[in-house]
Structure 1
């Protein structure tokens, strides 16, 4: 539907902006304009102004700005066309129809809205007469008082096959069927869909009744569904509707939050506890369309599902729908209720503040995804762990946005590595204790003798088994300064996860560190680890005569470069893979990473070119000999 600028200008001219805004925001006259505390952010002194002459509002605090249409979309949460239609109806204007068929459908829908409102009036009236006694008792048992019942429009559908038809005689029976109020089967007489149920109206974003939900009250009808919703109709598409959006939308402007719960009774329980910014899907998992509606309101909606297995499956279904749609600044957070409880149960047991505390500290989408897949089944065998890794990768592959996909993959696989390959437990030392250890038998050894296997692993790296001299130099440096191993244990653990060929040698370093007195500074010595390649003597932390403090600083820089290298290589590979889908972005990213790589190589060259302090003598085998080449004290 194309709306001309002239038509839109006429619509804006017919709407008095201050009258529109004053319905939800208290305005004060200020000369030719109006002022108020901004409805879009919290403030104590007014910075929000409304000008009828200029036709726009503006906040000098947060920058909110717009006209009557923008106000209706931002403050009410309506789509553009819904906002235009609502304002046009108030202004007495007809929205241009693109063709006669669309105009006919619009007229038909307008008539169906009248049918639905008449049905709502009938259900509300029935709740108050003698036939609605059971429904009133149920509302009282749930703690829903008269205010809540009136606010949400509770009603009652009498247990009759034709009560609606008899009450709505001014409408054609075909209209009742088209609205979903009656069911027509073959040539049989249509009959009422909702019978003997507590009724709840379902509204669109403009607050018009478009469908109903009914809860059964007769426990003897075991074969009947507990909850029954209207079918899809010209007015109602359950995959494009969120219950209570017309109320929660304005509330979310104040709270900056939108809570999604499993059902409409949960929404009402939260509202009764003064949590008004909640919505619910209608009998189905969240759809892509519903997620888009939520993201128009807030960047990170909060999903709040029951604490049972069904609730967790519902959360994962929503996450599965959301993953392909994630974008910068657009995600989900998840609140998990205590096992076996829904929002109403929690509020009754612990009070509304307990619910607010949970909503204030939701888990991220990534945390929820990881914890669910980690705990969904036992991980007792290598095959189980491999299955976990495969599931995590499949989730990341569903993400369409390349940067988010890459970040999710890296984070989830890091967590997987830490879980599947935990670091070896470290024995705790107590330097002040005479025994050396906090727990266990006394132990003190300045030059631990490595096991033959561990020594062989280190020898392969130090004597040329690594793919370049940087790794060989770093390992030789740790043999020379074993007291540095513990300080760099986290960096070494990350390196073991990305450079699997170095993992065995890193494990051997940790083994040596466990056996070493933490107060000792002598090199690790073993006949098997006997020498250092000549190339490694270019690094100052391997040179004789280098000040120990300066040598350890250079060793720390080399460790950082060694850890950075695989991350840089992975980022370059990822940028190269993006060329087919995003050539311009991939090229720019590749150029940036190449500059980083050149800088990395320059730093490496500078480090390798350093010389020891004045008077130092270069040696071919300083780092792995049995002596203390830096003159450090040995025990």
Structure 2
């Protein structure tokens, strides 16, 4: 439905934005001036200790001076509660006492149909619940007990039982004055085309109601208890109430927890989602047996910038992940992507939480891999690169995938990241071809001086910054000029930084095949040193683990923090390097002070010292805030908080 601007203005005028926002924040009494409609609070969109979030009743807007979030009544509700714009308008109109416009006759007719269908599905849900509690439901109750679902979970999710009879539900609906045509349209009955009487769609199945954003039953999923029964899971068909491609199971329960945690987990099946929810992990939803659609992808991004999709670790799970990637690539946006978790030993989420509890499941979620890595593994797994033509073919295939990304900034980020990986892959392969038999890290460490230049912490910061440049190419591009003018103390790291700069600058002008062999072999040793591409397993074998060295130095990355958080880390590390350079310059100037030093030079040294102290204090404050936010991220994803302000462990 389209809403006229006058209606939206009426809602804004009747409902102070501070009243809408107050449900999510606590106003700072010292800074706020309620009489003037001027309110301040800590931002609900990012972690902070001092209030930088401003709400202005006179203008009907909010703005955070820390993270830049801004908008009006409707945007705040959509961003914090995961509602669509029409849903936000409906909710705020009701709160403001504003009547929504009457829909046109055709819309009224469609709405009446939806109301009738919703009534029918609600009657069916209550019927299935009652049958589960009846003596005939014992088989289903025993099944749910074996699956370790508690009575509370069964009741909360309104699980039920569809009797193994042809027309048990049909008779019940008729007794409750539900017309047969309505029951058929709601997907509850099937009407054969040969004229035979209609019959129940669901028979002999454990029933799981599928609910919409408001918790209303709109469809069902049924799990057969017959070992030979097919299909194993049966969902309602598409109806005016139920569209598989736009819906997510359990979303009405999960959205608040997802917003609070800043993350959302997606399982393949609704019973898996129920098991994970029962284990205490509330920010979980499930797909409904269909491939990911653009609507579902965009909807998940309303809850978290990088949802984690949890697949079984078998061949089918990997295939499903690859299909999902092809759907996601075209709609990737800056700051929005997906991570993929593949469970071990062929287990599904339900089995994992039953055997190991929430800790075991969250432990696997913590190992989730970024979309870019899963895409890379897919493309190189079967690739042959033993000839120039085959190298070029792999590069062309990757370039074609990147061209599917509509967001230019994201596409450029992927191009830079994948080209660095390609050059590393080609170099490692060619070394093996020359009889070396070793990977990128085989370059003798003696040829690469990585000594810490009398400052181990500084050397660590330089390594972390370069590792982040490899892991987050868009951060590198955003700060490329500042990095170029920041001289690293460790010469090998400085040389690597300059080589990376050449790759980025020549990105569109040269193919990987044309520049990778022009890079000094030491580049690949440093690449592995600052980012990490291989580790020894328990058996002594070398296995590929992207970014393991970076995550050892910056452990918070194991918990998939938002890119906004990572960017703050990046900026603060750059600031540390700058302040060390500034301190060295001041010390050099002080050593040169003599009797002939003029007042102007002394004033300059004094002013630089004041600036250094001011920026050091500001850096310490921001680092403490970041450490607190890191603690919250760990807590939200099941990790224990670890002290360590140096690199925000």
- TM-score with structure 2 length normalisation? 0.60
Which residue in 1 is equivalent to 2:310?
304
Which residue in 1 is equivalent to 2:533?
none
Which protein shows a greater Rg?
Answer: 1
Q: How many residues align?
A: 455
Which residue in 2 is equivalent to 1:206?
214
Which piece of structure 1 moves more, 45-54 or 343-352?
45-54
Which residue in 2 is equivalent to 1:7?
7
What are the equivalent positions in structure 2 for 1:22-33 lying under 5 Å apart? none
Which piece of structure 1 moves more, 487-496 or 344-353?
487-496
Q: Provide the secondary structure at the position in 1 that maps to 2:241.
A: coil
Cα distance between partner residues in 2 of 1:36 and 1:145: 41
Q: Provide the secondary structure at the position in 2 that maps to 1:276.
A: coil
Cα distance between partner residues in 2 of 1:402 and 1:28: 40
Cα distance between partner residues in 2 of 1:428 and 1:91: 71
Match of 1:270 among 276, 294, 301: 276
Determine whether 1:217 maps to 2:222.
no
Which residue in 2 is equivalent to 1:171?
178
Q: Provide the secondary structure at the position in 2 that maps to 1:211.
A: strand
Cα distance between partner residues in 2 of 1:166 and 1:370: 55
Structure 1 unaligned regions, length at least 5: 432-483, 511-635
Which residue in 1 is equivalent to 2:265?
259
What are the equivalent positions in structure 2 for 1:286-325 lying under 5 Å apart? 286-325=292-331
Match of 2:253 among 233, 247, 269: 247
Cα distance between partner residues in 1 of 2:18 and 2:496: 64
Do the aligned partners of residues 145 and 114 (structure 1) sit closer, same or farther apart at CA in structure 2, a change above 3 Å counting? same
Cα distance between partner residues in 1 of 2:179 and 2:16: 39
Which residue in 2 is equivalent to 1:365?
371
Do the aligned partners of residues 16 and 265 (structure 1) sit closer, same or farther apart at CA in structure 2, a change above 3 Å counting? farther
Which residue in 1 is equivalent to 2:550?
none
Do the aligned partners of residues 152 and 35 (structure 1) sit closer, same or farther apart at CA in structure 2, a change above 3 Å counting? farther
Q: CA deviation at 1:235?
A: 0.7
Cα distance between partner residues in 2 of 1:46 and 1:414: 41
Which residue in 2 is equivalent to 1:479?
none
Do the aligned partners of residues 194 and 28 (structure 1) sit closer, same or farther apart at CA in structure 2, a change above 3 Å counting? farther
Q: Is the 8 A contact 1:82 1:206 kept in 2?
A: no
Which piece of structure 1 moves more, 389-398 or 303-312?
389-398
Do the aligned partners of residues 200 and 378 (structure 1) sit closer, same or farther apart at CA in structure 2, a change above 3 Å counting? farther
Deviation sequence 1:273-308 (CA, Å, 0-9, x none): 211111222111110111111122222222221111
Which residue in 2 is equivalent to 1:138?
143
Which residue in 2 is equivalent to 1:74?
79
Cα distance between partner residues in 2 of 1:204 and 1:489: 52
Q: Is the 8 A contact 1:305 1:312 kept in 2?
A: yes
Q: Is the 8 A contact 1:77 1:246 kept in 2?
A: no
Q: Is the 8 A contact 2:238 2:244 kept in 1?
A: yes
Which residue in 2 is equivalent to 1:123?
128
Q: CA deviation at 1:96?
A: 1.8
Determine whether 1:279 maps to 2:285.
yes
Which residue in 1 is equivalent to 2:334?
328
- TM-score with structure 1 length normalisation? 0.61
Deviation sequence 1:361-381 (CA, Å, 0-9, x none): 532221111112222467677
Which residue in 2 is equivalent to 1:421?
427
Q: Provide the secondary structure at the position in 2 that maps to 1:284.
A: coil
Cα distance between partner residues in 2 of 1:77 and 1:306: 27
Q: Provide the secondary structure at the position in 1 that maps to 2:242.
A: coil
Q: Provide the secondary structure at the position in 1 that maps to 2:222.
A: strand
Q: Provide the secondary structure at the position in 1 that maps to 2:127.
A: helix
Cα distance between partner residues in 2 of 1:312 and 1:72: 36
